[in-house]
Chains A and B, each alone.
Chain A
Amino acid sequence: MIVAKNLSKRFGRIFAVNNVNFCINKGEVVCLLGPNGAGKTTLMRLLTGYLEADEGNCTVFGHDVKTDRTSALQKIGYVPENCPLYPEMTVYEFIKFAADLWKIPYREFVNNFKELAAYLHLTEVVNQRIETLSKGFKRRVGIAGALIHRPKILILDEPTEGLDPNQKLEIRNLIREYGKTGIVIISTHIMEEVEAISTRVLLLNKGKLIRDTLPRELKKISIDNDMASAFRKITSEEF
């Protein structure tokens, strides 16, 4: 369970996140939706403790991200925007590195790794350097690194950005699968994705949470029952 209370973050005078409140429960796949600069990435960084909130707080299964960072992060698997990886490492080394940071016992790591490698089709490239991989593979390696400790919460910042349709489909399947038992938070501005996988939508604009709703409710806002036009409508209303 993730709870955000009065979460605010300012960069200079601009509010990147402004008094955001929500609570996410198990079994939800939450989509952070919003135009560029709406504060999606900042919100995710606040949730993962990379940024410190100026006001308010956020707890992950009861652990405050600010005061009890490491315990909170134990529950989270996070793939930042553009999926940064260490290019000189091999796939195996990276995933092992991630596993060690989570202090996973070796046996457990081996089982998880085998499973993930098979599931994400990484078996062929385990000994390859990350810099030699294609974008889709890199994304999958990043996700594998985030999933190796089987976190209860998976946070993905624009997970399908720049992938070909096949790869997009694979990632979406994975998210859907994962959402059944845990919490998945993804950020995106691709409407079809929202429709395809999310069970809940948090619509952000200029740092404010302007809608916390279900995807089908969101669709209803527009006349033609289309997510994209609903999005346009809501975000333009706010101006």
Chain B
Amino acid sequence: MKNNKFYVLILFMAMLLLSFVCLNLGSSLFWGNNKADFTSDGRYTLSEASEEIIQDIKEPIFIKIYMSSSLSEEYPQYADYARFVLRFLNKYQKASAGKISLEIKNPEPYSAIEKEAQAAGIKPILDGNGQINLYFGAEISNDAGDKYTIPNFVSERRSSLEKDISRIIYRINNPQRQKIGLVYENLPITDKSYGTRKTSDWAFVKLLSNNYNLVEMSSRTPQIPLDINVLVIVNPQKPSDVFTYALDQFVLRGGSILMFLDPYSEKEGQLKGTANISEPEIDTLLQNWGISYGKNRLAGDVDLSEMTLIGDKNTQLKNYYLWMNISKDFLNKDNPITEGLSKLSLKTAGILTPIPYEDVEITPLITTSPKGGSVEAHIAKFSDKTNVLTLYNQDNVQHTLALQVTGKFSSVFNNNILENTPYAEKMLPYIAFSAHPSTIVVVADTDMLADENWADTEQSENNEYYGIVPQNDNGNFILRAVDYLTGNKTLLKLYDKKSLVSENGIGEHIYGKIFARYAQEYNQTQQDLTTTEKQLDLLSRNIEAVGQGVSMKALEYQEKLRQEVNQKQNKIKELDYKIKKEQEENINKIILMNTIVFPLLLILAILLFRLFFSRIQQRKISELVNER
């Protein structure tokens, strides 16, 4: 009898298990892919554009993730990001209905998988002891042999993650990469030897070449090849007639141009010395396209200006009006290029003025605030910042810094410039009017392209694109402009994801708060230290130059300065120590509060509540029993 019952129990249990399996399978099949996103920044939700790209997948795509299991012990913060990446890639997999397969591999040290990872181009990170290679990167490929590698996922690129992945998938879907031309002058933007120094590609070039087939072209070419639809021109100088003709005909044939020109390229000045900077003289063409460009004036803005140290002796942190951080409000929200961007950084930009033509539509993209001002370009070039600020003219005009021109144009030439030469036969025939409308985007600044003005390339070795950490939207602006000009509408819908998650840990937040209290003292000391060090350096060199005959006084002064430097250095160390200690105390306080104090208080509250409640109840009961 009892045995019988036992069998019934087992049977019942089996039945329950089976029903649980069915229930769970059913629910996951029906609803497994529908999730409510509780995160305020929707960090796990794919954008419409990504969904579109995923829907377009024709061939199966394989994502191989190489991730060392010991990552979480060595770099907890990075492992936190890794978890995010994995979950996010999972979303792609789910959305693809089987077209994307995801494989996670653990490259143990000295294993075959590690070799595989290295062969795939995954970049190792050393562990805390500097002995073992850790990996966290991915290879995305398809059967056709298209392969893209993210050498490692850089956590600072968190907001670009969706864009990166979706773009890779898009490129695998559309293996034919569009050709775009790149023409530049006087700036070392690609890795061609520049003078004696070998430089690496600028970050924006990596950005473009990662997404497009970037073809460098000479600024003397008489004709832009037919397979190039978009031309990026950086820092054009006075173009030769031949090249002017080439550009003129290129536009009339429907080609699009993204041009960065600058009355004062600070970057060029930095590299060649300010006196050697030349100015663009491309007025004829620009005017033909409806753009007037004042090459002698630089735009500035009181409200949008950036702070910097100004002054030789008494350096002070001041707003420098010519360095502008253009905020969202002054970027054209209705234009696909600038839509969704939030901050651009421009330095010593020129001023563009539209010339109204029939059939030509001119749209400002970037402007200053209505409190815009201007200053003569040569003042900025040849005198110091203090002077610039004194001579700065507050126009209260909203200057245009970048604009887009779309329309049909007529040629500035009457015939083929090389007519009657042997070249003419090989060239395309001359046309006088636009056959199709074309688009030209002109930005009156080249400094926005310089790495230091938009990207942190510390983690980007060997021309590696996925290590670039953008600091503002300059890079996005460039890429979006090219996407727009090449007609990649889907890609234009991919934006950076504004993430709530900052890369700073709570400990750093606490540190920051404490530091803020000491900031003034700290910075002051630091500044004093720098000045004293400079003085000491100068003095020491002088003393060295004088040699034997140095005066006692000078030596005494040198000694005094040395002591001062020492003192200041000690003070900074002391401050450092003080802040660290306070941080530690704060952390201990938090731990103590949450582990002991709060729980004790809560338990006490419960005890009091119980005591109070039972007293009342007992009194009530006694009354009840004793009442007649």
Contacts and interface: CB of A to CB of B under 8 A. Distances in A.
A–B direct touch in complex (beta carbons closer than 8 A): yes
Interface of A: 10, 12, 54, 90, 92, 110, 113-114, 117, 123, 126-127
A123 B1 contact: no
Contacts of A127: 618, 621-622
A117 B624 CA distance: 11
B625 A54 contact: no
B626 A123 contact: yes
4 A-B pairs with the lowest CB-CB distances in the bound complex, closest first: A127-B618, A92-B621, A123-B625, A126-B625
Interface in B1-18: 1-2
Contact of A54 (B1, B624, B626, B627): B1
A114 B626 CA distance: 8
Nearest to B615: A127
A127 B2 CA distance: 44
A114 to B, nearest CB: 6
A8 to B, nearest CB: 11
A201 B372 CA distance: 112
A214 to B, nearest CB: 36
Contacts of A110: 624
Contacts of B626: 123
A114 B624 CA distance: 8
A117 B621 CA distance: 12
A145 B431 CA distance: 108
A206 to B, nearest CB: 19
B1 A126 contact: no
11 contacts: A10-B1, A54-B1, A92-B621, A114-B624, A114-B627, A117-B625, A123-B625, A126-B621, A126-B622, A126-B625, A127-B618
Nearest to B626: A123
A85 B140 CA distance: 68
Given A92-B621, A110-B624, A123-B625, 15 more contacts: A10-B1, A12-B2, A54-B1, A90-B618, A113-B624, A113-B625, A114-B624, A114-B627, A117-B625, A123-B626, A126-B621, A126-B622, A126-B625, A127-B621, A127-B622
Contacts of B625: 113-114, 117, 123, 126
Contacts of A117: 625
A42 B625 CA distance: 37
Interface of B, secondary structure class, is: helix
A91 to B, nearest CB: 9
Contacts of B622: 126-127
Contacts of B618: 90, 127
A202 to B, nearest CB: 25
A54 B2 CA distance: 10
B3 to A, nearest CB: 11
Nearest to B628: A114
B627 to A, nearest CB: 8
Interface in B576-628: 618, 621-622, 624-627
Nearest to A123: B625
Nearest to B5: A52
Contacts of A126: 621-622, 625
Nearest to A128: B618
A127 B621 CA distance: 8
B403 to A, nearest CB: 80
Interface string B260-272: 0000000000000
A123 B624 CA distance: 10
Contacts of B627: 114
Contacts of A10: 1
A127 B626 CA distance: 13
A113 B618 CA distance: 15
Nearest to A117: B625
A117 B627 CA distance: 12
A208 B31 CA distance: 62
B437 to A, nearest CB: 84
A29 B627 CA distance: 34
A106 to B, nearest CB: 11
Interface in B164-212: none
Contacts of B1: 10, 54
A94 B132 CA distance: 66
A92 B627 CA distance: 15
A113 B621 CA distance: 11
A221 B1 CA distance: 39
| Interface-centre pick from A12, A114, A117, A127 (highest chain B CB count, 10 A) | A127
A45 B625 CA distance: 33
Interface string B93-137: 000000000000000000000000000000000000000000000
Nearest to B2: A12
A238 to B, nearest CB: 26
A122 B99 CA distance: 77
A127 B625 CA distance: 10
Nearest to A96: B621
A52 to B, nearest CB: 10
| Interface-centre pick from B621, B622, B624, B626 (highest chain A CB count, 10 A) | B621
A145 B95 CA distance: 62
A12 B627 CA distance: 55
Contacts of A12: 2
B2 to A, nearest CB: 8
A90 B618 CA distance: 10
A54 to B, nearest CB: 6
Contacts of A90: 618
A84 to B, nearest CB: 23
Nearest to B624: A110
A114 B622 CA distance: 10
A92 B622 CA distance: 10
Nearest to A118: B625
A72 to B, nearest CB: 22
A12 to B, nearest CB: 8
A127 B622 CA distance: 8
B617 to A, nearest CB: 8
A54 B5 CA distance: 12
A127 B624 CA distance: 12
| Interface-centre pick from B618, B622, B624, B625 (highest chain A CB count, 10 A) | B625
Contacts of B2: 12
A182 B533 CA distance: 107
A141 B618 CA distance: 17
B112 to A, nearest CB: 62
Nearest to B621: A92
A126 B625 CA distance: 8
A117 B625 CA distance: 8
A113 B624 CA distance: 9
Contacts of A123: 625-626
A110 B626 CA distance: 12
Contacts of A113: 624-625
A92 B621 CA distance: 8
A76 B384 CA distance: 103
B623 to A, nearest CB: 11
A113 B623 CA distance: 13
Contacts of A114: 624-625, 627
A127 B618 CA distance: 6
| Interface-centre pick from A54, A90, A92, A113 (highest chain B CB count, 10 A) | A92
